[in-house]
Amino acid sequence: MTATLMQRAVLRVGEGQILVQPATKPMVELSAVAVRYGQELALMDATMSIARGEFIAIVGPSGCGKSTLMKLVTGLLPPDSGTIVVDGNTVRGPIKGVGMAFQNSALLPWRTTIDNVILPLEIVQPFKKQLRGQPARRARAQQLLDAVGLGKFENHYPWQLSGGMQQRASVCRAIVHDPKLVMLDEPFAALDAFTKEDLCALMQDLWLRRKFTAILVTHDLREAVFLADCVYVMSGRPGCICYRRPIDLPRPRTMEMTFEQVYVDHVHALREKISQVRGG
Amino acid sequence: MRKRLMRHARPWLVAIGILLIWEIGCRVASVPSFVLPRPIQVMAAMFEFREALLSNSLHTLFTTMIGFAIAVAVGILLGAAVGTSTAVYEAIYPTLIAFNAIPKVALVPVIVIWCGIGTLPAIITAATLAFFPIVVNVATGLATVEPELRDVLRSLGATRYESLSKVGIPRSLPYLFASLKIAVTLAFIGSVIAETVAANSGIGFLMMSAASNFEVPLVFAGLIVLAIMSVIIYLLCSALERRTTGWAFRGQLVS
């Protein structure tokens, strides 16, 4: 039963590919994915396709399974039905080398800022096996810290940094190993409005330079429209992707643009959709 | 400068104050020395029996340290097993708690039946009393790794060994050292209990024989030597703690 369902789903997506995107394979592909926690259906029929180097955002009311979706894509949570394909391979367990950043920075308090950023380089290949590894890794981490304005804080411990700086370090740790896929789970949610703006701009810079594929989960519609190529709206209980809105604003986007009519229209449209799913 | 001097002087002032109140109280109420000897009498006894006190306290220190070392080894291993695996946790935790609830004094006669009288029962009692807080704390340190951090490591593709060595162990070190400070005093209690029941050397043995001869000042001398040894070992543990896990205290003073 499950097998036939899965086969059908794969077939369907296969046809879609040929019609829409004949050239490049998508980076992440979910087809008819469902998850239950006990009796409750947490996520229903999630189907989406994220192109290589695309920045997408997922918005929705709290408890709608946004974080579940992230765990699915990284293979931390197996789906009950449906298939997830990342970079051409079906996901069957935790996939390696993904970058992650969360609302709390989750830095290691016993490591200095730079040692925290080095952590993925000690675990992920090819950096792990590099000859004369430590100096090379250090240089790489330092370069990234310089780029995010933490160049002079490399020897500070996390608790000596402000919340915004901790979050910068956390973002550095998420992308230092050049991951193909970066997961951002409300990374700026706990920051004040100004710091948040700074970090959004910084995130865009980093993405424009490195072109990783990114999935951002957020409550903040302005942030989602600012950063993403495409925003998905999820409805709650059972979670399902109910609306997809491409954001065709030119890059690099600036904070001034957030006050322009096109930008505001995007935010309004998303807002309306969310009120609908919350109300219904 | 003055402030620093005050800070270092304070614990001494408290200790001296207590001794003073004790001395004056005994004199005022004229308490006989076989009930509660005055500090000066205790000090005289300490001086008089210095050789016996020294050899016996060194013996107690030796047994305590061996028992403590066993407790640390067993405690870390058990704690690591309990903290990293829910199956192990569910399987052995109830038994561990039940074992910890047994009064170890009641165990000493049994240990004597098995091992005879002497140093061995003291070592075993010290170890059985001291290992439990180590198990609990190491397990807690390992089990409370933030779920986000776990996700970060898993999605980086960290092996079990990597996540243990890079996150699990450093994270549980402050918990381990906190428990060592408790465990070392428990180890002292354990070895002295065993010595009072079944030994022919050690501070516990010395105090028991002194008590049976109504040499009460010597009993108190033994207590004070014991207290001093515990404080010294405790301070050593916390110095080690500060050196290795200073990050957990954010540069604040602890001991």
Q: A244 — contact with chain B (CB < 8 Å)?
A: no
E strand or H helix at A84, and its extent?
A: strand A81-86
Q: Indicate the residue of A106, A110, A123 with minimum beta-carbon distance to B247.
A: A110
pLDDT band at B155 (very low <50, low <70, confident <90, very high): confident
Distance CA B163, CA B152 (A): 10
Tell me whether residues A96 and B155 touch, CB distance under 8 A: yes
Q: Are B133 and B179 in contact (CB under 8 A)?
A: yes
Pair (B176, B209) in one structural domain:
yes
Residue B69 neighbours by CB under 8 Å, 6+ apart: none
Pair (B11, B118) in one structural domain:
no
CA-based Rg of chain B, rounded to a whole angstrom? 22
Predicted confidence (pLDDT) per residue in A164-183, tens digit: 899 989 999 999 888 889 99
Q: Which residue bears the tokens 């501070």?
A: B203
Q: Are A128 and B166 in contact (CB under 8 A)?
A: no
Please tell me which residue, A131 or A128, carries the higher pLDDT value: A128
Pair (B45, B78) in one structural domain:
yes
Q: Are A165 and A173 in contact (CB under 8 A)?
A: no
Pair (B142, B226) in one structural domain:
yes
3-state secondary structure of B211: helix
pLDDT band at A230 (very low <50, low <70, confident <90, very high): very high
Distance CA A267, CA A228 (A): 12
Tell me whether residues B155 and A124 touch, CB distance under 8 A: no
Pair (B14, B69) in one structural domain:
no
Distance CA A15, CA A162 (A): 50
Pair (B154, B197) in one structural domain:
yes
Q: How many CB atoms lie within 10 A of CB A207?
A: 21
CA–CA distances in Å: residue A23 to residues A5, A18, A20, A83, B201:
27, 9, 9, 22, 86
Q: CB-hemisphere CA count at 13 Å for B23?
A: 11
How much of chain A exceeds pLDDT 90, in percent? Answer: 18
Whether residue B205 is contained in a domain is answered as yes
Pair (B113, B20) in one structural domain:
no
First-to-final CA distance of chain A: 31
- The burial of B219, by beta-carbon neighbours within 10 Å (0-12 exposed, 13-18 middle, 19 or more buried), is given as buried
What's the mean pLDDT when you consider all of chain A?
83
Q: Are A224 and A216 in contact (CB under 8 A)?
A: yes
Distance CA B13, CA B2 (A): 15
Query: Could you give the residue ranges of the DSSP H alpha helices within chain B?
Result: 2-28, 39-48, 50-84, 86-101, 104-115, 119-143, 147-156, 160-163, 169-198, 203-212, 216-245
Q: What is the mean predicted confidence (pLDDT) over A87-107?
A: 86
**Is pLDDT at A238 greater than 90 in this prediction?**
no
- Name the domain count of chain B: 2
Q: What is the mean predicted confidence (pLDDT) over A39-56?
A: 87
Tell me whether residues B247 and A157 touch, CB distance under 8 A: yes
pLDDT band at B43 (very low <50, low <70, confident <90, very high): very high
Q: Quick one: pLDDT at residue B188?
A: 92
Q: How far is B212 from chain A (nearest CA, A)?
A: 53
User: Fold for domain A53-75+91-98+179-279?
Assistant: Rossmann fold (3.40.50)
Tell me whether residues A104 and B148 touch, CB distance under 8 A: yes
The parent domain of residue B20 ranges over 1-30
CA–CA distances in Å: residue B40 to residues A212, B10, B52, B124, B217:
77, 22, 19, 36, 9
Per-domain residue ranges for chain A?
Answer: 53-75+91-98+179-279
Please tell me which residue, A103 or B69, carries the higher pLDDT value: B69
Interface test with A, best of B156, B160, B173, B244 (most A CBs within 10 A): B156
Predicted confidence (pLDDT) per residue in A184-216, tens digit: 988 888 888 888 888 899 899 889 988 899 999
3-state secondary structure of A70: helix
Q: A98 — contact with chain B (CB < 8 Å)?
A: yes
Q: Quick one: pLDDT at residue B254?
A: 46
Residue A94 per-residue DSSP state: P
CA-based Rg of chain A, rounded to a whole angstrom? 19
Q: Quick one: pLDDT at residue A18?
A: 38
pLDDT band at A280 (very low <50, low <70, confident <90, very high): low
Pair (B7, B90) in one structural domain:
no
**Is pLDDT at A20 greater than 80 in this prediction?**
no
Distance CA A122, CA A133 (A): 9
Residue A36 neighbours by CB under 8 Å, 6+ apart: A42, A80
Q: Indicate the residue of B152, B166, B247 with minimum beta-carbon distance to A109.
A: B247
Cross-strand partners of A89: A86
Q: Quick one: pLDDT at residue B93?
A: 86
Pick the closest to residue A98 from A185, A222, A190, A5 (CA basis): A185
Tell me whether residues A94 and B248 touch, CB distance under 8 A: no
CA–CA distances in Å: residue B47 to residues A256, B41, B50, B51, B102:
84, 10, 5, 9, 38
Q: B243 — contact with chain A (CB < 8 Å)?
A: no
Q: B155 — contact with chain A (CB < 8 Å)?
A: yes
Q: B27 — contact with chain A (CB < 8 Å)?
A: no
Q: Are A177 and A143 in contact (CB under 8 A)?
A: no
Give contacts of A170 with chain B, Cβ < 8 Å: none
Q: Which residue bears the tokens 């701009």?
A: A201
Q: B157 — contact with chain A (CB < 8 Å)?
A: yes
Pair (B9, B114) in one structural domain:
no
Whether residue B173 is contained in a domain is answered as yes
**Is pLDDT at A12 greater than 80 in this prediction?**
no
Interface test with A, best of B146, B155, B169 (most A CBs within 10 A): B155
Q: How far is B155 from chain A (nearest CA, A)?
A: 5
Whether residue B253 is contained in a domain is answered as no
Q: Quick one: pLDDT at residue B11?
A: 87
pLDDT band at B65 (very low <50, low <70, confident <90, very high): very high
Q: A178 — contact with chain B (CB < 8 Å)?
A: no
Q: What is the mean predicted confidence (pLDDT) over A125-152?
A: 82
Cross-strand partners of A214: A55, A182
Distance CA B133, CA B188 (A): 14
First-to-final CA distance of chain B: 21
3-state secondary structure of A39: coil
Q: How far is A154 from chain B (nearest CA, A)?
A: 15
Whether residue B238 is contained in a domain is answered as yes
Which amino acid, A273?
Answer: K
Q: What's the whole-model pTM score?
A: 0.74
Whether residue B120 is contained in a domain is answered as yes
Q: Are A27 and A82 in contact (CB under 8 A)?
A: no
Q: Quick one: pLDDT at residue A19?
A: 39
Q: What is the ipTM of this complex?
A: 0.74
Which amino acid, B23?
Answer: E
CATH code, B45:
1.10.3720.10
Pick the closest to residue B133 from B173, B184, B170, B95 (CA basis): B184
Is beta strand A213-218 parallel, antiparallel or unpaired with respect to A181-185? parallel
- Residue A22 backbone dihedrals phi, psi, to 5 degrees: -70, -30
